[in-house]
Amino acid sequence: MDSHIDFYYFCYFLKLVSMKKLVLLVFTLLYFSFIQLGLISILASVSYAQSNPEDIINKFFDLYKNKGSDMAVDYVFSTNKWMDKNQNVVIEMKMRLKKAINIIGNYYGYELITKKSLGQSYLLYSYVVKYERQPIQFTFILYKPDKTWQIQNLRFDDNLTEELEEADDD
């Protein structure tokens, strides 16, 4: 009996509102819902990523493993608004990194080599990234000019011999 009443009210509603208006209303509501969800997720990821330098690095390596090196490099440089003017540097780094990755085999993870600081707002993190054939070293330099951390420089090197020899001297 209840389903007949619901159907009756639905038919009555359709008579009052033309189908065009109903479809327009549904699409408008969906459109604004997606915009809100998109803005919320963007704001959440930006504030999360920049809350401390380790968050930026962890997200970089998560993207690196799951989405690829291009997404990781794009993300890390997106933390610094000044990098928009240096897109050629970002593109060149992505090309060189892809070329290196293609010849060194499977990815097996990363380990922190060293962490250095100049004060509390300028940090260097160096990681060995493990691959089947040989490791790559990533060096992140992060800077906190005011309230949020940003990448200042990112380098990678596939020749870790010098780093290992310097570590042996210590």
pLDDT mean across residues, the chain: 80
Least confident of 10-19, 43-52, 73-82, 156-165: 43-52
Q: What Å distances lie between residue 77 and 26, 57, 81, 107, 145, CA to CA?
A: 38, 11, 8, 22, 16
Phi/psi at 129 (nearest 5 deg)? -105, 120
Is 27's pLDDT higher than 70? no
Q: Side chain identity at 157, as an amino acid letter?
A: D
Is 8's pLDDT higher than 70? no
What is the pLDDT at residue 41? 44
Tokens matching residue 39: 């803005």
Least confident of 49-53, 128-132, 135-139, 146-150: 49-53
